[in-house]
Amino acid sequence: MPVERTEHHELFKYYEVYETIGSGGFAKVKLGRHILTGENVAIKIMNKKDLGDDLPRVKVEIEAMKNLSHQHVCRLYQVIETSTQIFMVLEYCPGGELFDYIIAKDRLSEEETRVFFRQIVSAMAYVHSQGYAHRDLKPENLLIDEDHNLKLIDFGLCAKPKGGLGFELKTCCGSPAYAAPELIQGKAYIGSEADVWSMGVLLFALLCGYLPFDDDNCMVLYRKITRGTYENPRWLSPGSVLLLNQMMQMDPKRRLSVRHLLDHPWVMKDYNSPVEWHSRQPLGHIDEDCITEMAVNMKRSRASTTALVKEWRYDQTTATYLLLLSKKQRGKPVRLCLEPTACEDSCSPLHQGLQTREALHFSEDEDAVIVGSLEFCSDYIDDCPWVSVANNKDMRLASPSVEKKCVYSSTPERGRTTAQHRQERRDRDQGQTSENKENIAVQEKDVEIFALPPPRTPASSKKNARPNKNVLTTPNQNANVNGTKTNAVTPKGGGSASKEPNKKRAAEFKELANVEILAFSPERRSRSLDMAVTGDSGKKKRGGKVFGSLERGLDKMITMLTPSKKRALRVGPRKIKVQYNVTLTSQTNPDQVLNQILSILPEKNVDFTQKGYTLKCRTWGDFGKVTMAFELEVCLLQRPEVVGIRRQRLKGDAWVYKHLVEDILSTSSI
């Protein structure tokens, strides 16, 4: 058995793993499906060797996420650690990054901004109440879930001062454009105050579509931040201008606190109620329905199942419990996928195009669809309390052509697929709606670091919150409105989006500190600057991604991905509806469009692999590292009946990506 499989066996035992949906500095994130509940998850995969000095950052992130449970914080379900890899199984947010949402829409209206901002305030009030400062707040770290609500991610730079949030921190970290002046100046700072500054920058980005302080040259950027002056565009209402000013106050003591934000007049407008910040899913709460379902299937008593869940080991037990709870909270039956009919709705989209018994490898191919083979899974089934399958033949990895349903077993005890058991389940499900509400209304026992007003209204409103699917972007539409500079793209060797090794970046930071103003050559203009210095934690910190202007860009696919395998097998181009990550052409012949793009990619130094009408593109940096990865897919649109090009950024700086794709599409003269 190949080593890589051994390394991933724990993962494959419980999850089906699909395509890459994102990648960060060190992690690749793949779409997955928790076999037992049929729920979609995001699997963050990190190679320990690649993490190097940043391994502690991952540990910090895991510890923080274990301690946080809130409707606007991405939930951690399970952590699997092998000798070489760390897998974090997370709540899946199919809507993509808030960053991409903003650039796709140019900027958001005040009303839509308010919906999102209330959720950000809710998340931050909760995070602060738990004693944490996030320290890397930016729209790339807010994901959109299936209900169009925000979820905060990336706690790798968070801090939990031992003496409480009022204690000063020293580590300068995060993304410079969002960093408070006291951080830039290297002063000791209060984490929650610095977070409010970043929230101000974020609010500005939502309302304006670009950053208040921006420059390619870090020293110039720092000067702008420490001067604290920014221009308010004419479309901002007086109320917005005032709130931004109150948040981006140079003196942290004069800055608004999150507590003040909860019932700030701007935040309350149209709601007439403060932000609800308490967790609707308090840590440690035990849901009886989930316990019952698990107890039945584990053939344990409810008491011992409860005891097992209460260990909160972030193993398969925790994941199963939390995913069942998530199902319940979304009004789905609290059921494990043991019967062919148990989770049809949640399983079917992911299963399309997958082949039963197909063993796909875990490869570097971004598009690999990975499914643990039956043979492979069976190696581990015996010692897995969750998959008490007597016979391999009873397991199915579903495919529409073979079996539309989830993994199931036909052993009598396992499925309890008798009419009696089904009736028990139905009875339980019927009593569910009211219990759901009760469960959601349970008050948490959070440790409050500061006194906050009690929650009164839901923070999330779906009002004005749906993405505007009619927004079309064409390469030329993505014009730069505030006149900020455009970066020359040097796809090969340009390395402008590359994450350099820490040491090199730390040295670069020192160098920058000594040189007043340093013009970056394209090669050196890494947008990810490590602001690493040792401080409160004594650990090296990785700088976040730094995006320059949040100009209209080409964005990533926001809807759930179709399994790539299916795409690869298709003979013709896909027929899709117009969505805002699709560029319309005036042409009607998809092959002609495809050929035009194919001829232009080598000219732009873009490597690609072709699968049908999908081109998986990459650019490389100086040291053989992939600096940019994205997909271009030629597809047919229905209304109007023309050829479209779907774009999706998988890796790399959004700004550089925007220009590269614009360049490719305009040169292709389509």
CB of 386 closer than 8 Å to CB of 587 = no
Q: What are the residue ranges of helices labelled H in 315-407?
A: 316-329, 344-351, 374-381
Burial group, residue 576, by CB count within 10 angstroms (0-12, 13-18, 19+): middle
Q: Measured from the CB of residue 410, what is the shortest distance to ligand ADP in angstroms?
A: 34
CB of 498 closer than 8 Å to CB of 627 = yes
Clarify whether 136 is annotated catalytic.
yes
Q: Measured from the CB of residue 584, what is the shortest distance to ligand ADP in angstroms?
A: 25
The residues of the shown chain that bind ligand ADP, judged by CB under 6 A, are 21-27, 29, 42, 44, 74, 90-93, 97, 140, 143, 153-154, 156
Nearer to ligand ADP, 255 or 651 (CB): 651
CB of 336 closer than 8 Å to CB of 291 = no
CB of 612 closer than 8 Å to CB of 552 = no
SS3 of the chain: helix, strand, coil, percent, to 5: 35, 15, 50
Which residues lie below 8 Å from residue 437, measured CB to CB, with a gap of 6+? none
Question: Which DSSP category does 583 fall into?
Answer: E
CB of 57 closer than 8 Å to CB of 156 = yes
Q: Measured from the CB of residue 481, what is the shortest distance to ligand ADP in angstroms?
A: 25
Nearer to ligand ADP, 72 or 414 (CB): 72
Q: What's the Rg (C-alpha) of the chain?
A: 25
Q: Measured from the CB of residue 618, what is the shortest distance to ligand ADP in angstroms?
A: 17
Q: Measured from the CB of residue 99, what is the shortest distance to ligand ADP in angstroms?
A: 8
CA–CA distance, 634 with 643 (Å, rounded to integer) = 7
Neighbour count for residue 173 (Cβ, 10 Å): 28
Instruction: List the catalytic residue out of 54, 100, 106, 136.
Output: 136
Nearer to ligand ADP, 289 or 367 (CB): 367
Nearer to ligand ADP, 74 or 108 (CB): 74
What b/e readout covers 615-653, taking b as 16+ CB neighbours within 10 angstroms?
bbbbbbbeeeebbbbbbbbbbbbeeeebbbbbbbbbbbb
Among 198, 204, 200, 267, which Cα is nearest to 233's? Answer: 204
CB of 583 closer than 8 Å to CB of 571 = no
Q: Measured from the CB of residue 51, what is the shortest distance to ligand ADP in angstroms?
A: 9
Nearer to ligand ADP, 44 or 327 (CB): 44
CA–CA distance, 609 with 366 (Å, rounded to integer) = 11
Neighbour count for residue 524 (Cβ, 10 Å): 13
Length of the chain in residues, anyone?
670
CA–CA distance, 55 with 500 (Å, rounded to integer) = 16
CA–CA distance, 354 with 371 (Å, rounded to integer) = 9
Q: How far apart are the first and last CA of the chain?
A: 48
Cα distances (Å, whole numbers) of residue 435 to 113, 184, 287, 302, 331: 33, 49, 9, 18, 11
Nearer to ligand ADP, 408 or 547 (CB): 547
Among 493, 508, 492, which Cα is nearest to 546's? Answer: 508
Please state whether the peptide bond connecting residue 640 to the residue before it is cis, i.e. omega within 30 degrees of 0: yes
Q: Measured from the CB of residue 61, what is the shortest distance to ligand ADP in angstroms?
A: 7
Hunting for tokens 């349903």 — which residue is that?
405
Nearer to ligand ADP, 287 or 555 (CB): 555
Hunting for tokens 């921006």 — which residue is that?
214
Q: Measured from the CB of residue 91, what is the shortest distance to ligand ADP in angstroms?
A: 6
Inter-axis angle of helices 302-309 and 316-329, to 10 degrees?
A: 100
CB of 544 closer than 8 Å to CB of 157 = yes
Nearer to ligand ADP, 62 or 407 (CB): 62
609, β-bridge pairs = 616
Nearer to ligand ADP, 224 or 616 (CB): 616
Q: Measured from the CB of residue 640, what is the shortest distance to ligand ADP in angstroms?
A: 30
Q: Measured from the CB of residue 381, what is the shortest distance to ligand ADP in angstroms?
A: 28
Nearer to ligand ADP, 335 or 505 (CB): 505
Nearer to ligand ADP, 27 or 397 (CB): 27
Q: Measured from the CB of residue 39, what is the shortest distance to ligand ADP in angstroms?
A: 12
Residues annotated as catalytic (active site), given as ranges: 136
